[in-house]
Amino acid sequence: MFLKRLGEGLSGEYQPWIGILNPSSNQADFQRFFFEGGHWKEFPLYQYPEASLADQLFWKANAVLRPFGFTNTYFKLKKAKEQRAWQHRLKKKRIVLVNSNSSASDAFVAKQLKPLVNLPWVLTQHSSYNRVRWGILGSEKEFINHAAAIFGKTDAILYTAEDNVDIYAHVPLSPHTIVKKVYLGYEPQGDIPEKPDHHKPLKLVMMARGIPEKGWAQALQAIQILNAKQIQVELQAIYSPTEYMETLKQEYAGLTGVNWLGYLSNPAPLLAAAHASLLPSYFQESLPYAITESLAYGTPVIALPVAEIPSMLSTEWGLAGQLLQADPNGKAQVEGLVMAIQTYLDSPDCWSEHSRLARLAFASKFSLKTCLQAYKEVFDALTKIPQ
């Protein structure tokens, strides 16, 4: 979604093209989302020159020159051919800059594109490198070597969370590399309505992927406890359908006050009507987009202090929500979550102040206008022609 908004927001200055790294993954949905009525155009990443007579000649040249000490002739000629093909395609489509947005696409640019064509490259670092760091590579040394091979070739790094910064101290960056923190921007849908004055029932929303690490079980246990106390709360559950969520739905089938909505293409009306968002996530991701969207509608957030979340909620006047305590396993303490929800029921003034701070936090950090301006400044700095 951020990429779509980025392309639309910068379309007055640039023509955005997008390359699909895995053509077999949700191709039809991807096409509809980005290309129907949008500003993006498709750039095929895997359109290399097909095998031809030239390739056969390359093999013959390789065999002829090997006795004279010339090695890898075929691959050198093949690489030169691919380089000419890339240069032709990029020139034809007038590509002036590459922006990658995931660890997989970063690796593609570093290994397959940057060695062939010297275009300015902006790497947007979300939480993906932490997943690589903790879940894929076997050791810290292996991770640093992997990161160095990528970051050493970038012209700019736009990062979203402070927990990414320590990586740069361990990898060699060019002194000319632009390193800048830019939060992902969001544009609220339509006018933002006033929040409801009444707090009974307290309207809650939880919007997250359908995985255990997002804290769904802890949220539902808290609602169950509040129900048992005859405390009026409603929870709108917005999630990607998964087997795990179906299991939870059956387990809590008798729990009143929970609306199992599944995926929603436009959750804005529910966020705008909610008194608070729940995100008791213990998943190590740096920048949950659900928090950004909640803040846009003045909706305070109740969450664990994971990664960038405390910074997302902070303002100079206080937090735009409440931070929970974790249990010894790193999960949200359910009783603490119950107390946080009850605080907004018992103290409307506290809730009203947190709602005000939510709007301030969004305006100062996450507005799409601020984000687009930061991207435009970096893009312009790397593509302007010296006088």
Residues 183 and 240 both lie in one domain? no
- How many angstroms separate the CA atoms of 362 and 190, rounded? 16
Tell me if 101 is assigned to some domain.
yes
Residues 16 and 162 both lie in one domain? yes
pLDDT digits (tens, 9 = 90+) for 243-290: 999 999 999 998 999 999 999 988 999 999 999 999 999 887 678 889
Characterize the bridge pairing of strands 318-319 and 314-315. antiparallel
Helical spans, DSSP H, in the chain = 2-10, 27-35, 53-65, 73-92, 103-108, 128-131, 140-151, 165-168, 216-228, 243-251, 268-273, 289-296, 309-313, 334-346, 348-365, 368-383
- How many angstroms separate the CA atoms of 104 and 108, rounded? 6
Tell me if 282 is assigned to some domain.
yes
- How many angstroms separate the CA atoms of 352 and 89, rounded? 55
Residues 343 and 375 both lie in one domain? no
Tell me if 102 is assigned to some domain.
yes
What pLDDT is recorded for position 25? 53
Bond from prior residue into 67 cis (ω within 30 degrees of 0): no
Please provide the size of the chain in residues. 387
Residues 163 and 225 both lie in one domain? no
Domain holding 150: CATH number? 3.40.50.2000
Residues 136 and 208 both lie in one domain? no
For residue 138, give its domain range: 2-43+93-187+369-383
Number of domains in the chain: 2
Residues 335 and 290 both lie in one domain? yes
Residues 234 and 118 both lie in one domain? no
- How many angstroms separate the CA atoms of 15 and 11, rounded? 5
Cα–Cα nearest to 19, from 75, 118, 86: 86
Residues 121 and 173 both lie in one domain? yes
φ/ψ of residue 124, rounded to 5: -95, 115
φ/ψ of residue 295, rounded to 5: -60, -35
Residues 214 and 350 both lie in one domain? yes
Tell me if 57 is assigned to some domain.
no
User: Which residues in the chain show pLDDT less than 50?
Assistant: 387
Q: Residues 280, 330: contact at Cβ < 8 Å?
A: no
What pLDDT is recorded for position 162? 81
Tell me if 192 is assigned to some domain.
no
Tell me if 194 is assigned to some domain.
no
Q: Residues 124, 158: contact at Cβ < 8 Å?
A: yes
The residues, any chain, with a CB within 8 Å of residue 45's CB and separated by 6 or more, are 19, 20, 21, 108
What pLDDT is recorded for position 19? 80
Residues 321 and 182 both lie in one domain? no
Residues 223 and 265 both lie in one domain? yes
Tell me if 153 is assigned to some domain.
yes
Tell me if 82 is assigned to some domain.
no
Residues 261 and 328 both lie in one domain? yes
Q: What's the predicted TM-score (pTM) here?
A: 0.75
